[in-house]
Amino acid sequence: MNKKKIVVLTGAGISAESGLKTFRDSDGLWEGYNIEDVATPRAWRRDPKLVLEFYNYRRRNVLEAKPNAAHIGLAELEKDFNVTIITQNIDDLHERAGSTNVLHLHGEIFKMRSEKSYEPVYEIKGDINIGDMAEDGGQLRPHIVWFEESVPKIEEAIPIVRNAEIFIVVGTSLVVYPAAGLVNYAPWNIPKYIIDKRIPYTSEITNITAIEKPATEGVGELITLLANYK
């Protein structure tokens, strides 16, 4: 039997209950930093040491965090559905929960690359320091899409969303583009669900069911609703 295609767009809210802070819940500061100082190409040119320290700190946080019931619930959907997760998150909690098909739109905290090129990408579990060089002689930087940088994976994500048979959004404020624009590519007539502890503005999206709950609770409820589509 053909399994139905579920596509899930996730954001920082799904990892909040794993102890990883969301960006917009913290008054414009991210772990105490201004975004402009740590997550832009200009910040990297001005003070690469600060940028590396910020991501080294976040890498340690992610290493300590564990997948929560929302990550695990989405991974378990693979038993009955063909699931693709498109995440804005740079953590690996979907993978650690068992999801096998995860596309990271904004890069991955456990990867790094030369500041001079997109490839090759190297694994990194520890810190990146000034003076750590790639084979091409460029300083190594986190494999993260910073603000004002392009999002190459969006091209891969759009056709996946277009082919969805069920579309789910979890824990994203839907304000960071182009990721937020993906919701507009979901076919108008398929069932859609949005889970967020504060549902963002989505009035132009048809056929959508809002579950205004924390992700762990909301995904539990969603799984019950999805039983109708197995």
The residues that are catalytic are 106
Residue 76 CB, nearest distance to ligand NAD (Å)? 18
List the one residue from 51, 81, 167, 171 that touches ligand NAD (CB under 6 A).
Answer: 171
Residue 49 CB, nearest distance to ligand NAD (Å)? 17
Residue 149 CB, nearest distance to ligand NAD (Å)? 8
H helical segments located in the chain: 13-16, 35-38, 41-46, 48-64, 69-76, 93-97, 154-162, 215-226
Between the alpha carbon of residue 162 and those of residues 14, 44, 159, the distances in Å are 23, 35, 5
List the one residue from 4, 35, 78, 158 that touches ligand NAD (CB under 6 A).
Answer: 35
Q: What distance in Å separates the CA atoms of residue 215 and residue 199, rounded to the nearest whole number?
A: 11
If the CB atoms of residues 12 and 52 are measured against ligand NAD, the closer one turns out to be: 12
Structure tokens at 68: 């929560």
If the CB atoms of residues 141 and 160 are measured against ligand NAD, the closer one turns out to be: 141
List the one residue from 4, 23, 47, 153 that touches ligand NAD (CB under 6 A).
Answer: 23
> Would you count residue 111 as binding ligand NAD (CB under 6 A)?
no
Measure the N-to-C terminal CA separation of the chain; round to a whole number of Å.
10
If the CB atoms of residues 12 and 183 are measured against ligand NAD, the closer one turns out to be: 12
> Would you count residue 88 as binding ligand NAD (CB under 6 A)?
yes
> 48-87: string of b/e by CB count within 10 Å (b at 16+)?
eeebbbbbbebbebbeebebbbbbbbbbbbbebbebbbbb
Using the contact rule CB under 6 A, the part of the chain among 23-31, 93-101, 111-119, 155-163 near ligand NAD is 23-31
Residues contacting ligand NAD: total by CB under 6 A: 30
3-state SS, residue 215: helix
Residue 177 φ/ψ, nearest 5 degrees: -95, 155
Question: Binding residues for ligand NAD, per CB under 6 A?
Answer: 11-13, 16-17, 22-25, 30, 35, 39, 88-89, 106, 144-147, 171-173, 175-176, 196-198, 200, 214-215
